[in-house]
Amino acid sequence: MRRFASLSKRICLVAMLLLALLLALPMSVGAQDTMDDSVFVSIRHYGGLDPDGQDELYRLTAEGFLPIIRESEGYIGYYWLHEGENVVAVSLFESQAQAAASAESAREYVNENLAHLVAGPPRTVEGQVDIGFVELLDGMGDGEVSSLHASVRIYDGFEAADLDEFVAIVDDGFLPIMRETAGFFGYYLMHDGAGALVAISIFDSEAASLASNENARDFVAEKLTAYLPSAPAIVSGRVGIASLADLNEGANLIDDAPVFVSIRVYDGVDPMKRDEIVRLVDPRFLSIMRESDGFVGYYLLPAGDKLAAISLFDSAEQAAASNDKARDYVAEYMAPLLPNAPTIVEGHIDVMYVNDADDMTMADGMSELYASLRIYPASDMSMLGQSVESVKAYLLPALHEAGGLFSYYALNDGDDTIAGLNVYVSEEKALAANDIAAAFNAEHSVDFLPDDPLRVTGQLGVAALAEIRMGENLVGSTTAEHVFASVRVYDGIDPGDQDEIGRLTGEGFLPIMRESDGFVGYFLLSAGDKLTAVSMFRSEGQVSASNEKAREFVVENLAPLLPNAPRIVEGQLSINHVPAQSDGELFASVRFYEGFDLSHFDEANDLAIAHLLPALEDLGGLFAQYALNDGEDTVVGISIFADEEASMSSNDVGKAFTMEYLADWAPNPPTGLSGKLAIAALAEVRMGENLVGAVME
């Protein structure tokens, strides 16, 4: 080995052995220790894995394989990281034979335990470590580091005629760059003697890890192109296992890292506003949480006049930052819905359980989840350790045996409050969990928890975990089926004014719609002497409000151009089908079926989904299809295409469908208009901006 150095940031860790056989001498921060002992490494890169199986793969590796390798002769360290379809495992040993033996142990363990998760053999690179440098982070020696992130760069065609010269360049030039980056933990460089070279950079944040790839690219381009002629294969991901033989007896340094939780309970909430609250949280606020550093999970629990929001993060700092974001978001978007400041409980998780069964994490999510949150104030924290052990031994098994348990969390705030959250797949189980917890407390924790808890129990509006479906909402939106529309048809328009109407509407009225509560979409269709505007919102009240805003805007800005009051049809969308996105022109056909027998509307709607939608899709270029009725005798169908010919043909398709399937219920032929859309805006696409641009350019 060319060089293997170690550095301790804290004096109490100075004398700690960092890697087996490498004794760190007492030194000041910034000093290095150069030694000649050899360390051998086996790097195994598994590709083409199912990302949804990563949690199980990690668990089986941490629980089953890590104990095996830790007991192996000559063991120095082990790292395991994953990114998407890739997993990289790194084993460090005192000798080449021991490193090779670890690779064989890994192969046997994979064949016996992980074959259903690992489709094929890994690419294996083995050799001697040329540079190995570990710099302890605060808390690393105590097993308190919350997360590590690594980038593994595998270069092929390594042509170092003078290995010593190559290593010296990296040692003197690149390693200092790594060490100067905040959160640096370790760096390894090795070659296999057969044209492959691997560099591993480890940091305490994803951003720093990804930045190391850019730094490496720039450094190679400037200094090392003669040795590394081709770009590397890169895997950058979160480290699930980081084990060093001489720290914490080789236990996973981050496996038991505490997850920090922030619970915000709002009261005085209008129960009738549940759907609107969920809509405002998912997807907009949830996306803010998901993109925040250290995000672990998020639950939103509306229950009667209370609302509980639970955020899980890797660290207290990250959770605190999430609270700031929540406060800002509530102030800007949800203040009328959440009139009172929340009760906040924050602390580290003492017990965490998440069911990773296939039926719990299926790709299309779950329709419903129910939760029970219990907050106990004035707890005797001197008995916390005893209580935690009792929860693990008695309460958690009892909750699990009730059936349908998705997750359970117990936490304390470090002062006098503890909380428990359990999530079930049925309301009955969630309610029963309160009785189970009460019985447990009466038998095991009456002295620890003297008071009755604050309880919040109900159906979850949002349940998101970072490691499942990329942190998306597992239960979907409870308001997904509730979209209301208003169709306003103006006639008697001068066709020469259509462009001006489109310009004024795009510049003035669309921003009003986009900023309105519950906005889903807006379309403006001009055709000859008629103009049709379609507004879509999450509630009937919001649609009615949009009509009033349209009336006011027309009176103030468009009265000379729109001389007649519009015909208005309002109703809930029964078909809300948006299969595609478009950056070009869009064409629409709006059809009104008057005299419709609405007692058969549900049946007609089912027939439209079964027969009309496929026929429209066969025309090609279908952007969206909508349908609604006014509750009296009128049905409206709206077809939008990326092709004008297909849009015009949709009228014939609609007529043919009506004659074949709906003749008894829709006796009158449809009326309407077709033409090019001046405005097409959807809230979830490009922030609700006009998708088709200005038509008057």
Contact between residue 313 and residue 296 where contact means Cβ atoms under 8 Å apart: yes
Query: How far, in Å, CA of 626 to CA of 628, rounded?
Result: 7
Per-residue pLDDT at 266 exceeds 90: yes
One domain, residues 265 and 172: no
One domain, residues 169 and 266: no
Per-residue pLDDT at 360 exceeds 50: no
Domain boundary residue, one of 250, 284, 301? 250
Per-residue pLDDT at 380 exceeds 70: yes
3-state secondary structure of 588: strand
pLDDT band at 117 (very low <50, low <70, confident <90, very high): confident
One domain, residues 185 and 304: no
One domain, residues 205 and 268: no
For 155-191, write each residue's pLDDT tens digit.
999 977 778 899 999 999 999 999 988 888 899 999 9
For residue 283, whether the previous peptide bond is cis, meaning omega lies within 30 degrees of 0, is: yes
Using a CB cutoff of 8 Å and minimum separation of 24, what contacts does 332-336 make? 333/280, 333/284, 333/285, 334/277, 334/280
Both structure tokens of 578: 């948006």
Higher pLDDT, 623 or 10: 623
One domain, residues 304 and 447: yes
Higher pLDDT, 33 or 346: 346
Per-residue pLDDT at 141 exceeds 50: no
3-state secondary structure of 689: coil
Domain-embedded: residue 421:
yes
Q: What's the Cα-to-Cα distance from 560 to each of 347, 392, 546, rounded to whole Å?
A: 62, 74, 21
For 198-216, write each residue's pLDDT tens digit.
999 998 877 788 888 999 9
Structural element, H or E, at residue 268 = none
Query: How far, in Å, CA of 336 to CA of 318, rounded?
Result: 27
- Give the pLDDT of residue 6: 35
- Give the pLDDT of residue 14: 26
Both structure tokens of 39: 């360390």
Domain-embedded: residue 695:
no
Residue (of 168, 173, 170, 199) closest to 186 by Cα position: 199
- Model's pTM, two decimal places? 0.42
- Residue 680 burial by CB count (10 A; 0-12/13-18/19+): exposed, middle or buried? buried
- Give the pLDDT of residue 146: 56
pLDDT band at 253 (very low <50, low <70, confident <90, very high): confident
- Give the pLDDT of residue 352: 83
- Give the pLDDT of residue 222: 93
Report the number of secondary-structure helices (H) and strands (E) in the chain.
18, 26
One domain, residues 310 and 242: no
Parent domain of 584: 484-688
One domain, residues 334 and 197: no
pLDDT band at 592 (very low <50, low <70, confident <90, very high): very high
One domain, residues 316 and 432: yes
Q: What is the mean pLDDT of the chain?
A: 83
Per-residue pLDDT at 145 exceeds 70: no
Query: How far, in Å, CA of 304 to CA of 270, rounded?
Result: 8
Domain-embedded: residue 183:
yes
Domain boundary residue, one of 407, 439, 471? 471
- Give the pLDDT of residue 581: 62
One domain, residues 265 and 238: no
Domain boundary residue, one of 250, 281, 299? 250
Per-residue pLDDT at 434 exceeds 70: yes
Domain-embedded: residue 696:
no
Domain-embedded: residue 479:
no
Per-residue pLDDT at 578 exceeds 90: no
Query: How far, in Å, CA of 624 to CA of 586, rounded?
Result: 10
- Give the pLDDT of residue 693: 64
Percentage of residues of the chain with pLDDT beyond 90: 39
Half-sphere exposure of 51 (CA within 13 A, CB side): 11
- Give the pLDDT of residue 7: 31
Per-residue pLDDT at 18 exceeds 50: no
For 295-351, write each residue's pLDDT tens digit.
899 999 998 899 999 999 977 778 888 888 888 888 888 888 899 999 999 888 888
- Give the pLDDT of residue 137: 57
Strand-pairing partners, residue 343, are 265
Both structure tokens of 313: 């993060």
One domain, residues 417 and 435: yes
For 269-298, write each residue's pLDDT tens digit.
988 888 788 878 887 788 888 888 888 999
One domain, residues 33 and 118: yes
For 644-695, write each residue's pLDDT tens digit.
999 999 999 999 999 999 999 998 888 888 999 999 998 877 778 888 864 3
One domain, residues 67 and 181: yes
Query: How far, in Å, CA of 98 to CA of 104, rounded?
Result: 10
Number of structural domains (the chain) is: 3
Residue 553, domain CATH: 3.30.70.100
Both structure tokens of 566: 């519009």
Per-residue pLDDT at 83 exceeds 80: yes
Domain-embedded: residue 694:
no
Both structure tokens of 168: 């010296």
Domain-embedded: residue 477:
no
Domain-embedded: residue 255:
no
- Give the pLDDT of residue 356: 55
